Amino acid sequence: MLYRIESDSIGEKQVPKNAYYGVQALRAYENFNITGKRIHPELIKALAEIKKAAAITNMEIELLNRKKGDAIVKACDEIIEGKLHDQFITDPIQGGAGTSMNMNINEVVANRATEILGGELGDYSYVHPNDHVNYGQSTNDVIPSSGKIATIRLLEKALVQLDNLIDALLTKAKEFDHVIKMGRTQMQDAIPIRLGQEFHAYANVIKRDVVRIKRVKEELKYINMGATAIGTGLNADEMYVKHIVPNISKVTGLDLVQNDDLVDGTQNLDGFAAVSSALKVCAISLSKMSNDLRLLSSGPRTGFGEINLPPKQNGSSIMPGKVNPVIPEVMSQIAFSIIGNDMTITMAAEAGQLELNAFEPVLFYKLYESIETLTNGVETLIVNCINGITANEDRCRELVENSVGIITALCPHIGYKDSARIAKNAINTGESVKELILNEGLLKEVELETILDSYGMTEPGISGKELLKK
């Protein structure tokens, strides 16, 4: 391999001759061999958009040569389109508050712009990573701002899938609205409920999660570009500070606003912690739903067996015919991961000192992982599970009719004491509640059938007395 020699404040270093990254990105590559992964493509895109907007702003206020600026913009456009992403070699977990990420983009843009202008890679006399690409900026405003842009875009993809899940659940709620089944509390028989009501409830909790995520996403539109090192704007022209965020909005197509207090915007990462918290709550909702789906489909002959999940793969290497609820299982595992990531994000947001938080890299790494795994998990939950669920109506009806839980509806008519006695006898003897009530002459059959109308017992506000009047 051929090399070129580059130098920085640490000293000289050999850099691969055809590399678009430079000495500082290479040092980071060697220092931070942590995860074996690279920074997220959405973050690379956001970094390039910020560098493009900065070049445009600096050209507008005549602080950057038009020829150099246009080359920078062209190089950024190529990166935004997905080119040169293999030149971003820094690990997502790194020391230095993201300086390595920032210098990686600065070097790649500078080298590609130099190439566009007819120079050779590594010849920074054409376009310099710091003096031109990073002009008016600092790692400390570039990294949190690009991190927010990337997060917004990833959240938008997640919200699309969550909306799709709501639609799928509401479709099932309508399909199953007529299916009467036994409701359970603390894993014990309670009172009848419609299967459609259960699925409608799943849709509603996800609706609330969507509202929470949208609310915290709004916090991310406030970015600290123009703050430079600590929020005081040192080395940034006054007109640059005024116009940089509007130009980033134009480049990204996002409604972005400059922080009112740039010191606050540079110090604090609470917006990211709020996003992680909302994702965690959503993950809890999804895992609880997944738990329910596994229970309702359990058996299929020795468990509840009230619904059927679509069979997706063999469930055992030793037990022929066994099919496991693998999609709800993976959804719960995703939830466990998101909940763990939330703790990492919480600690990273808490760990900043004074004017800067140095722990954004690990925060972004875990936050992006949470958003993407939730997005992908919800998609497979819809396609490979929810859409294919069917109800075992006969099984549901059988469990309701043989349950002692229906005794609750009789309390207003025969009293709590007699109801409790009938329930106990039913459990001890195996006889049905209906048989015991009729045998003791506590109610007439027509009255009993009316009171124990299964659908009526699933509608709030309809009592047995009202049914009898009808």
| Residue 235 placed within a domain | no
Amino acid letter for position 82: G
417 and 450 in a single domain? The answer is yes
Same domain, 356 and 216: yes
Question: Sorting pLDDT into bands at 50, 70 and 90, what band is 468?
Answer: very low
pTM of the model: 0.92
The residue among 393, 428, 449 that closes a domain is: 393
Q: What angle do CA 113, 256, 372 make, to 5 degrees?
A: 80
3-state helix, strand, coil in the chain (%, to 5): 60, 5, 30
- Where b means 16+ CB within 10 Å and e means fewer, 65-96 reads eeebbbbbbbbbebbbeeebeebbbbbbbbeb
Tell me, yes or no, whether 337 and 193 share the same domain. Answer: yes
pLDDT band at 401 (very low <50, low <70, confident <90, very high): confident
Q: Exposed e or buried b for every residue in 417-445, given b needs 16+ CB within 10 A?
A: ebbeebbebbeeeeeebbebbeeeebbee
C-alpha span between 331 and 336 (Å, rounded): 9
Which of 90-99, 169-178, 189-198, 316-325 has the least mean pLDDT? Answer: 316-325
3-class SS letters over 295-318: HHCCCCCCCCCCEECCCCCCCCCC
Q: Tell me how far apart the alpha carbons of residues 176 and 184 are, in angstroms, rounded to a whole number.
A: 18
For residue 244, being part of any structural domain is answered with no
Average pLDDT over residues 96-109: 97
Q: Which of 84, 118, 135 is the endpoint of a domain? A: 135
Number of domains in the chain: 3
- Could you tell me if 220 and 368 lie in one domain? yes
Q: Are residues 185 and 49 in the same domain?
A: no
Angle formed at CA 55 by CA 51 and CA 243, multiple of 5 degrees:
95
How confident is residue 461, by pLDDT bands cut at 50, 70 and 90? low
Q: Tell whether 311 is covered by a domain.
A: yes
Residue 270 maps to which CATH number?
1.20.200.10
Contact 369, 334 (CB under 8 A): no
pLDDT tens per residue across span 286-304: 999 999 999 999 988 899 9
DSSP string, 363-406: HHHHHHHHHHHHHHHHHHHHHHTGGG-EE-HHHHHHHHHT-SGG
CA 136/CA 140 separation, integer angstroms: 12
List, for residues 109-136, the tens digit of each pLDDT value: 999 999 999 999 999 999 999 999 999 9
Are residues 130 and 15 part of one domain? Answer: yes
pLDDT for res 464: 46
pLDDT for position 469: 52
In a shared domain, residues 338 and 203 = yes
Whole-number Å distance between alpha carbons of 29 and 237: 33
Which has the closest alpha carbon to 325: 283, 286, 296, 302? Answer: 296
Range of the domain at 49: 3-135
Average pLDDT in the 388-409 region?
A: 86
**What is the mean pLDDT of the segment spanning 371-397?**
97
- Which has the minimum average pLDDT: 18-27, 184-193, 365-374, 410-419? 410-419
Residue at 442 is within a domain: yes
Whether residue 100 is found in the same domain as residue 71? yes
CA distances from 450 to 314, 421, 445, 461 (A): 46, 21, 9, 15
- The residues with which 189 forms a beta bridge, in sequence order, are 184
Position 467 scores a pLDDT of 46
The size of the chain, in residues, is 470
Dihedral sign of CA atoms 241, 247, 248, 254 in order: positive
- CATH number of the domain within which 420 lies: 1.10.40.30
Final residue in a domain of this structure, among 360, 393, 426: 393
Do 335 and 458 fall within a single domain? no
Q: Is residue 237 part of a domain?
A: no
363-379: b or e for each residue (b if 16 or more CB lie within 10 Å)?
bbbbbbbbbbbbbebbb
Which residues are marked as active site?
A: 316
- Radius of gyration for the chain, computed over Cα atoms and rounded to the nearest angstrom: 31
CA–centroid distance for 224 within its chain: 24
Cβ-based neighbour number of residue 34 at 10 Å: 14
Give the pair of three-digit tokens for residue 467.
């049914």
Residues 52 and 166 in one domain: no
225 & 374 share domain: yes
* CATH code at position 126: 1.10.275.10
Return mean pLDDT, the chain.
Answer: 93
Distance CA 251, CA 254 (A): 8
- Say if 417 falls within a structural domain: yes
pLDDT for residue 395:
95
Assess whether the previous peptide bond of 300 is cis (omega < 30° from 0): yes
What is the rounded distance in angstroms from the CA atom of residue 250 to the CA atom of residue 55? 13
Segment 247-275 shows an average pLDDT of 97
Assigned domain for 173 exists: yes
pLDDT in tens, 300-358: 889 999 999 999 877 776 877 788 899 999 999 999 999 999 999 999 999 999 999 99
Same domain, 7 and 31: yes
pLDDT of the residue at 402 = 80
Mean pLDDT, range 384-408, rounded to an integer: 88
Q: What is the mean pLDDT of residues 262-278?
A: 97
CB-CB contact of 139 with 97 (8 Å): yes
In a domain, 242, yes or no: no
CB 40 within 8 A of CB 150: yes
pLDDT, tens digit (0-9, with 9 covering 90-100), for 43-98: 999 999 999 999 999 999 999 999 999 999 999 999 999 999 999 999 999 999 99
Percent of the chain clearing pLDDT 90 (strictly above): 79
Residue 456 has pLDDT above 90, yes or no: no
